[in-house]
Amino acid sequence: ISLTGLAATLADILGVGRPQHADEPIRILYNLVKESFKSAKVDRILMYNPDAVGLWLYQKYTSDFELVLKHTQLALPLCTVMPSVTPVCFGTMYTGALPKVHGITKYEKPVIKINTLYDTISHSKKKAAIVANRGCSMSKIFLNRKMDYYILDSVYEINEKALELIEEDKYDFLTVYNGNYDRASHDTYPESETALAAFKHNVSTFDVLAKAVKQHWQRHDSLIGFAPDHGNHKDEAGHGTHGSDMPEDLNIMHFYGTIPKK
C-alpha cells in the first residue's frame, strides 16, 4: 500500500479538502473510522511521527510495540517512496504526491510549494500545528502555512509541549515529530543498545500521548496515528543508514486508533 494514499485519507477523515496532487485514499483506514463513527469523520487527529522505525523492527521486536498496539485497532503496512530519506518521505506523507511532484527528490529541506494537507486544513478554518526539533525536516519543509509551529531543541521539550497542546485542546490536527531513534541509529547502528532504547522511548511516548488524548479530547471523536516515514539498515561501515531501494528502508508499518468522544 503506497504512502501516497495517506494524505487524502486523513483529509477525508477530518472532513477537509484533499491536497491537490494527492493519490487516492487508503480504503482500509477510511473504513476503520467509518466503522467507529457514524459520520465517518473525526474532530481531532494526532499524528505521532517517529523517524526511521521500519516494518522490520515490528517484525523482530513485536512485543516492544505492546504500548502502541494497546491504543490502536489497525496495523497498516505501507511502502514509502524513493529515495527513502526523511524530507522526501514526509513530503509525500503530507501531500500525497510523489517526490518529483512535491519537489524534494534528495536529502534537502526546501519549503514545499505545492498544496499540502496543512493547506487544506487551514482553508477549512481548522487549526493545525507541528511540534518538532530545530533543523529537522518537519521544522522546515512545511513552513509558510497558516498554522502554528513549535520548534524546540530536544525530544523532551517536544513531547512536553505536545502534552501541553493536547491538554489545551485547540488544534484539529497535531503533528509531533521525534527523531531520536534515527539519530541514535546513524551514530551507532539500528540495533545497538542506544538505538533500541530510543525506539522504545518512541513507543512509550506514543503511550503517554494517547493517554493524554483520551483524557483531554473527550469532547471529540479522535484518530491517533503512530506513523514513521521510512526504515533503515546497517551499512558496510556498521552504522545505521537509509535511502536505498530495499525492504528494510522502504517497508513501514503505521498504527491507527479511534477514540470516541464521551
pLDDT of residue 76: 98
> What is d(CA 221, CA 198) in angstroms, rounded to the nearest whole number?
30
pLDDT of residue 38: 85
> What is d(CA 189, CA 232) in angstroms, rounded to the nearest whole number?
9
pLDDT of residue 155: 97
Is the entire prediction scored with pTM above 0.85? yes
106: closest CA among 141, 69, 66?
Answer: 141
Beta carbons within 8 Å of 208's beta carbon, 6+ residues apart? 159, 163
Output the nine-digit C-alpha cell for 163: 502534552
The sheet carrying 251-259 orders its strands as 74-79, 251-259, 222-226, 44-50, 173-178, 128-133, 148-152
pLDDT tens for the chain, 262 residues: list them: 999 999 999 999 999 999 999 999 999 999 999 999 988 999 999 999 999 999 999 999 999 999 999 999 999 999 999 999 999 999 999 999 999 999 999 999 999 999 999 999 999 999 999 999 999 999 999 999 999 999 999 999 999 999 999 999 999 999 999 999 999 999 999 999 999 999 999 999 999 999 999 999 999 999 999 999 999 999 999 999 999 999 999 999 999 999 999 8
Radius of gyration of the chain (CA): 17
